[in-house]
Amino acid sequence: MNYFNELARLLDREQAFDKAQHEALLLQRSVQERIALGVTWFPIAITNSELGRGDYLTITVNRTNHLEEGHRFRFGMPVSLFSNHSPQKDRLHGVIAFAGRDTMRISFRVDELPAWSRGGRLGIDLLFDENSYKEMHRALDEANLALSNENQYSLVRLLLGEADARVPPHNPAYENDSLNPSQNKAIAHILGGNPLSILHGPPGTGKTTTLVYAVQALLMQQPQQLLIVAPSNTAVDVLTERLDAAGVSVVRIGNPVKVSDHLQELTLDARVDNHASRKTVKTLEKQARAYVDMAHKYKRNFGKAEREQRKALFDEARKIRKEVDQLLDYIVQDVLTKAQVITATLVGANHYTIRDRQYRTVIIDEAAQALEPACWIPILKADHVVLAGDHCQLPPTIKSDHRTSGGLYHTLFEKLVTRHPLNVSLLDVQYRMNVQIMKYPSVALYADRLQAGPTAAHWTLCGDDSPIIFIDTAGAGFEETVVDHAVSNRDEAHFLRNHLASFATNLNTSLSDQAFPSIGIITPYRAQSLYLLEIIAQDERLQPYMEQLQVNTIDSFQGQEKDVIYISLTRSNEKQEIGFLADTRRMNVAMTRARKKLIIIGDSSTIGRHYFYAGFLDYIDSLAKHHSVWEWDR
């Protein structure tokens, strides 16, 4: 089957599954459950209403409760306004124009809100996002077309291995005293004119720092505009802030997840609002609003003359609105053209304001966590593409398939590392972990090529000489339980809680005037993390340290680091079934979150037959750091 047709088939399956899940959630869950899941705001208050771009009615809404809850609402997603009087019947669909922590602007293709919106309490539901899938399918179709054109040099054909990568005779010299040799070598490759550069950044190796310096070097080498994208809004936010701090002129497309005034100022919306011509826009918008307000003063029962006058007022408002749109288009393009770097999510690379832009260089960060169909959206806009990531950490989230390899799990980044090994630059010095914590992941997953930077190699907690230990629960009767596919191990959780309480108390005593370290408690299983969170929060011994403690799943910890990490492996059964633990990428993420101390708790008899854990146990034995749970008061 054709390469892109097969990707489209896999994407269709993912879309169907995703849509069915989302629709079932809206239909089968109560409002309170949907609020908790972050897909509903209820009740809301409408704080503003105006005729917006393209004759769309734009309203501003605030949520009035559950302000501490997170949510999944993002720019460009479809939503539905509903009334509690008739939540199935009284609905109006719109699109999010802005999404903040507690405020949203929503555009509707109507002149005014329906009558039912003026009675009862209103809410907003997040609908299934068809647009992302449409953009991915459109990119696959376009890439397929480029692939079929054999008479033309094509980046698409090169990436698929059907054309040879053009490797220059030598890369230009690049030396920066702030970087290590592997980072300098990676930037030299990016500057070398090859259409493909792959930046492989294991945990703690300064991948983001390297990308920022690479961007600065590219801009110095040749005046150009760069597009930098990532699969998540959070990753885009990090890069946007880092580039801005480095003095790069950057414009963020879409709304940041991170709520900070400075990051908001870097968005396209904010740059447009601060443009010199914005004052003229506001004057015209005020005129249009005045005409709309006059039109709305007419009541339902009026004659022909009043109806015509109302229509004339709306027509005049629309005429002014067209002037506003034209002026806004000019402002948007002026802002974008002057930017050195545009940042967006993968799908955001096709935002209507930048859809037709082409770039000499496109950088895709966290590419090993990105769905391949989404990667083709920005790639098709590039002459030179840089992919940065680490395929030895977590893969993308695939909802339709619970396997951990093949299909959409097999990312473009991973494929390109295999197809074009000469284009891979490995960052080999990590600045996060004590060398004992780093060593086993390095041996097992990175061909023992990682080195510990001098600042991190030997750091430990105050008075501690055991940066890594394994506490073995074999023979202790700590049996796992599985309820509706949710795996937990309450005995192991209680042991971890007690060990943590004793550890924190002793550590606090020895620290004297030093700051208490940050501690992460992580596990592959959500049910186990929820139970750990519950019992830790209830333990009086741990109350003084709660601000320094974080409990979550491994997946939620990617991208974070703590001074101390506890890992609850959870699995303990006679069949030696280890489930999620078989995905060594997940365990790599877990082990490499720790800076100064790593404490792993698990059943060696359950995990020991898997090659990765057998190797780990051998490594722990070589350090004489293999302990039994019986050594502690349980």
* pLDDT at position 10 over 90: yes
At residue 44, φ and ψ (nearest 5 deg) are -120, 160
Can you give the pLDDT at residue 222? Answer: 83
| Bridge partners for 387 per DSSP | 198, 364
Can you give the pLDDT at residue 132? Answer: 93
Can you give the pLDDT at residue 314? Answer: 72
Can you give the pLDDT at residue 423? Answer: 93
Nearest to 386 by CA among 564, 131, 137, 186: 186
Q: Which residues of 619-628 are buried (b: 16+ CB within 10 A; e: fewer)?
A: bbeeeebbbe
Number of residues assigned to the chain: 634
Confidence of residue 147 (pLDDT cuts 50, 70, 90): confident
* pLDDT at position 306 over 80: no
**Range from 98-112, 222-236, 410-424 carrying the lowest mean pLDDT:** 98-112
Q: What percentage of the chain reaches a pLDDT higher than 90?
A: 66
Residue 83 CA: distances (Å) to CA of 43, 62, 96: 9, 15, 18
Strands in 64-172 per DSSP E: 78-83, 91-99, 103-108, 122-126
Name every residue whose Cβ is closer than 8 Å to that of residue 485 and which is 6 or more positions away in sequence: none
**What angle separates helix 372-379 from helix 3-28, to the nearest 10 degrees?**
120
Can you give the pLDDT at residue 111? Answer: 77
Rounded distance between C-alpha atoms, residue 317 and residue 320, angstroms: 5
* pLDDT at position 395 over 70: yes
- What would the mean pLDDT of 32-38 be, rounded to a whole number? 90
Confidence of residue 169 (pLDDT cuts 50, 70, 90): low
- What would the mean pLDDT of 478-492 be, rounded to a whole number? 94
Both tokens assigned to 146: 């480029």
Rounded distance between C-alpha atoms, residue 176 and residue 306, angstroms: 73
Both tokens assigned to 617: 């146990």
**What's 171's DSSP letter?**
P
- What would the mean pLDDT of 305-326 be, rounded to a whole number? 73
- What would the mean pLDDT of 468-478 be, rounded to a whole number? 96
Can you give the pLDDT at residue 50? Answer: 80
Nearest to 338 by CA among 251, 229, 237, 256: 251
Asked if 440 and 594 count as a contact pair (C-beta separation under 8 A), the reply is no
Can you give the pLDDT at residue 512? Answer: 66
- What would the mean pLDDT of 493-519 be, rounded to a whole number? 89
Calculated CA dihedral for residues 500, 505, 511, 512, nearest 10 degrees: 160
* pLDDT at position 255 over 90: no
End-to-end CA distance of the chain: 58
Q: Is the pLDDT higher at 605 or at 256?
A: 605
Name every residue whose Cβ is closer than 8 Å to that of residue 281 and which is 6 or more positions away in sequence: 324, 327, 328, 331
- What would the mean pLDDT of 481-498 be, rounded to a whole number? 95
Rounded distance between C-alpha atoms, residue 383 and residue 501, angstroms: 56
* pLDDT at position 562 over 80: yes
**Range from 58-62, 88-92, 195-199, 313-317 carrying the lowest mean pLDDT:** 313-317
Total-model pTM: 0.90
Nearest to 480 by CA among 614, 613, 579: 579
- What would the mean pLDDT of 106-135 be, rounded to a whole number? 90
Q: What is the mean pLDDT of the chain?
A: 90
| Bridge partners for 226 per DSSP | 341, 361
Strands in 215-340 per DSSP E: 226-230, 250-252
| Peptide bond before residue 395 is cis, with ω within 30 degrees of 0 | no
Contacts for 214-217 with beta carbons within 8 Å, 24 or more apart?
214/186, 214/187, 214/190, 214/363, 214/386, 215/243, 215/246, 215/248, 215/341, 215/363, 216/246, 216/248, 217/174, 217/187, 217/190, 217/191
Asked if 150 and 162 count as a contact pair (C-beta separation under 8 A), the reply is no
Can you give the pLDDT at residue 170? Answer: 65
Q: Is the pLDDT higher at 571 or at 1?
A: 571
**Range from 45-59, 423-437, 552-566 carrying the lowest mean pLDDT:** 45-59
- What would the mean pLDDT of 542-549 be, rounded to a whole number? 94
Confidence of residue 298 (pLDDT cuts 50, 70, 90): low
* pLDDT at position 228 over 70: yes
Name every residue whose Cβ is closer than 8 Å to that of residue 576 and which is 6 or more positions away in sequence: 605, 606, 607, 608, 609
Q: What percentage of the chain reaches a pLDDT higher than 70?
A: 93
Burial class (CB in 10 A: 0-12, 13-18, 19+), 43: middle
H, E, C per residue of 3-69: HHHHHHHHHHHHHHHHHHHHHHHHHHCCHHHHHHCCCEEEEEEEEEEEECHHHCEEEEEEECCCCCC
* pLDDT at position 458 over 70: yes
Can you give the pLDDT at residue 153? Answer: 59
Can you give the pLDDT at residue 513? Answer: 64
Helix (H) or strand (E) holding 551: strand 549-553
Rounded distance between C-alpha atoms, residue 563 and residue 452, angstroms: 16
Q: pLDDT digits over 568-589, tens only?
A: 999 999 999 999 899 999 999 9
Can you give the pLDDT at residue 294? Answer: 72
User: What is the maximal distance between C-alpha atoms in the chain?
Assistant: 93
